[in-house]
């Protein structure tokens, strides 16, 4: 149920009937269930893992059955049962969050994953980032709430909400599209906007909450600097999914999804008190796929967990 709002605190769908539902939150539920399955399996709690797997499968099937709109996933059902975020709507036809989290939550099958992410690129992307919804709402709608109080292209109503952009980056890496993931990363990178700083109006060393979107007459202006969860999420997207260096229960994973033009990269990662000096080589200029891993010149299936204070050299061949 959507309640007063979900993550989007201006999408106020519950007007008293108590039946409004958030598809996005249902996708978050699936991601959470997958995390719990992984933990339960690691701890060898088979009954718990089976219970979480049932929860995940039931929700996934419900979403797939009722929320696919042909080219993307709908966003919600309002308190009268009306669909939000459908091609049948006049405004607010497509929302970013129910596309990215369909992939992050492993809800969509491979065909739908590609379709919904391509729809994000086609309908929501712009030179300054991905807008939250398109087209923006033109009139106040009491059934929708605060999102309809902003002009089209501003904040939640079609603005570029920086917090949501890294979710698209992560989703694209999960689909193996390093070129598009990196494009999205650069579009909202503050330092990139130095060339048009008079338009951007935000410090070049900090993320802002939102950028006025493509439907707004002041398209490209940044607003509310320092005030965004997007700063942390862009770090996660860049370090853990584009570079692909992320923690696991048993060690460190290095599974890059980088632009095909890159020949490789170097990075140093401190993990649980140990230092990993990492070199990635990409001789075939692919976006994703690890062929070999070497730790201290010894080929390995995975990177082991080192003791605190230890260090190693890691070479990954794509």
Residues annotated as part of the active site: 9
Residues 6+ away with beta carbon under 8 Å from 81: 19
Residue 129, token pair as written in the block: 């980032």
* Distance (Å, whole) CA 39 – CA 52: 10
Helix (H, G, I), strand (E, B) or coil at 163: helix
CA angle 185, 188, 194 (to 5 degrees): 120
* Distance (Å, whole) CA 313 – CA 215: 49
* Distance (Å, whole) CA 211 – CA 188: 9
* Distance (Å, whole) CA 70 – CA 60: 17
How far, in Å, are 28, 116, 145, 303 from residue 10 at the CA level?
18, 23, 6, 44
In the chain, the DSSP E strands lie at: 21-22, 76-77, 83-84, 94-95, 125-126, 129-130, 133-134, 160-161, 208-211, 222-225, 245-248, 251-254, 264-271, 274-281, 292-295, 298-300, 303-304, 311-317
> Are the beta carbons of 85 and 74 closer than 8 angstroms?
yes
Residue among 27, 316, 8, 10 nearest 150 (CA): 10
């Amino acid at each position: 149920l959507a309640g007063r709002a979900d993550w989007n605190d201006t999408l106020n769908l519950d007007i008293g009937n108590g039946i409004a539902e958030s598809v996005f939150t249902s996708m978050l539920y699936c991601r959470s269930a997958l995390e719990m399955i992984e933990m339960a399996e690691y701890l060898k709690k088979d009954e718990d893992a089976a219970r979480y797997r049932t929860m995940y499968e039931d929700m996934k099937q419900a979403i797939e059955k009722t929320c696919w709109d042909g080219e993307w996933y709908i966003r919600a059902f309002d308190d009268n049962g009306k669909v939000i975020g459908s091609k049948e709507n006049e405004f607010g036809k497509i929302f970013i969050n129910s596309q990215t989290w369909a992939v992050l939550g492993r809800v969509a099958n491979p065909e739908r994953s590609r379709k919904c992410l391509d729809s994000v690129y086609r309908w929501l992307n712009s030179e300054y980032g991905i807008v939250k919804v398109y087209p923006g709402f033109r009139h106040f709608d009491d059934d929708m709430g605060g999102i309809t109080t902003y002009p089209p292209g501003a904040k939640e109503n079609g603005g570029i909400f920086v917090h949501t952009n890294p979710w698209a980056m992560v989703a694209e890496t999960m689909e193996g599209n390093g070129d598009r993931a990196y494009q999205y990363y650069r579009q909202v990178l503050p330092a990139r906007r130095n060339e048009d700083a008079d338009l951007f109006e935000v410090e070049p060393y900090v993320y802002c909450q939102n950028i006025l979107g493509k439907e707004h007459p002041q398209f490209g202006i940044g607003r509310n600097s320092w005030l965004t969860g997007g700063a942390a999420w862009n770090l996660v997207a860049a370090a853990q999914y584009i570079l692909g260096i992320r923690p696991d229960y048993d060690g460190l994973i290095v599974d890059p999804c980088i632009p095909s033009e890159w020949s490789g990269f170097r990075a140093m990662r401190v993990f649980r008190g140990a230092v990993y000096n990492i070199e990635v080589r990409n001789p075939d200029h692919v976006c994703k796929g690890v062929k070999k891993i070497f730790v201290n010149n010894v080929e390995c299936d995975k990177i082991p967990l080192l003791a605190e204070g230890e260090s190693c050299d890691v070479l990954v061949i794509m």
